[in-house]
Amino acid sequence: HFAHSSPFACLAPPANLALWSAADPMKSQALFDKMAAAVKAKGPELVKMGGAVFQFVVSDGGEAGKFILDLKNGSGDAKAGEDAKADCTITIADADLMAMADGKLDGMQAFMGGKLKIKGNMMLAQKLGSILEAAK
């Protein structure tokens, strides 16, 4: 039953259930917007911290769940889409990404529990916590 795949499904009025994905965008979008704003505001500083291209894939976010955080080139960039040459690809469900951003879910625990998948350079993924902090 699709409506119950999200912990927030119960908040939507029944009339909206058919429009669930359209009516209620993924929560991570706000986080992606914050990252984009942070790169605009302090790109060079974040590039020094990151030194890599991060690809986010929100497993239940569809096309909107693909986001590139470039903290390697110039003063950085953050945009929707896919980069096949990303140094580190992070795949995670929407709710889990939000829990990590809020500090409610530890990255290592998420990884060990199979909620977080990392492809590419694992060490880079460890930097992400401080980058997310800086992006707040």
pTM of this structure: 0.79
- Higher-pLDDT residue of 56 and 129 is 56
Residues 6+ apart with CB under 8 A from 100: 92, 106, 107, 110, 116, 129, 132
- Stretch 19-41: mean pLDDT: 79
Least confident of 7-11, 13-17, 37-41, 88-92: 13-17
Percent of the chain with pLDDT over 70: 80
- Structural tokens at position 105: 């879910």
- Stretch 50-66: mean pLDDT: 93
